[in-house]
């Protein structure tokens, strides 16, 4: 039973977060269609509009799954929504993950100049945030390894 708005917020954030986690598992197994369908259901439910801190995560994960499924036009649309929402919420770490994935998108769509620009931005941001794992990933992507 929901007693106050805070408990309601936690419940729905938890529900959406669980869906995102499940979609991440599907992505790791290469089951992108399952992930896409679940994330589209979350968006269609309009629940994410109530939770701006998780909205960019849903959009970003959908963009990633669409990219991996070679649906580049829709992928770009959702990457753009995710990045816009993330910037609006001043989530630098979320932005870092998004630009790394969006850089991969640009590599796959043969826009290597934009990809390198995003990877360089990711490298600078990961250093600023002292995020060692993403510093290494950014360095490898900038170098082209």
Looking at residue 27, its pLDDT comes to 96
Looking at residue 133, its pLDDT comes to 66
Looking at residue 50, its pLDDT comes to 83
**Rounded-to-integer distance, Cα 58 and Cα 90, Å:** 16
Looking at residue 2, its pLDDT comes to 42
**What is the widest separation between alpha-carbon atoms in the chain?**
53
Do 23 and 65 form a contact (C-beta atoms < 8 A)?
yes
Looking at residue 114, its pLDDT comes to 96
Taking 50 as the pLDDT cut, the residues of the chain under it are: 1-8, 10-11
Looking at residue 142, its pLDDT comes to 67
Looking at residue 4, its pLDDT comes to 45
């Amino acid at each position: 039973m929901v007693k106050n708005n805070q408990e309601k917020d936690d419940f729905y954030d938890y529900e959406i977060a669980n869906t995102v986690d499940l979609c991440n598992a599907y992505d790791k197994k290469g089951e992108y269609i399952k992930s896409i369908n679940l994330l589209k259901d979350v968006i269609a439910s309009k629940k994410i509009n109530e939770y701006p801190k998780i909205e960019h995560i849903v959009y970003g994960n959908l963009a990633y799954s669409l990219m991996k499924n070679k649906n580049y036009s829709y992928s770009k649309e959702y990457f753009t929504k995710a990045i816009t929402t993330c910037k609006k919420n001043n989530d630098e770490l979320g932005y870092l993950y998004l630009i790394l994935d969006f850089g991969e998108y640009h590599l796959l769509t043969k826009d290597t100049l934009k990809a390198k620009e995003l990877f360089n931005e990711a490298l600078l941001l990961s250093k600023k945030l002292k995020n060692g794992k993403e510093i290494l990933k950014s360095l490898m992507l900038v170098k082209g390894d």
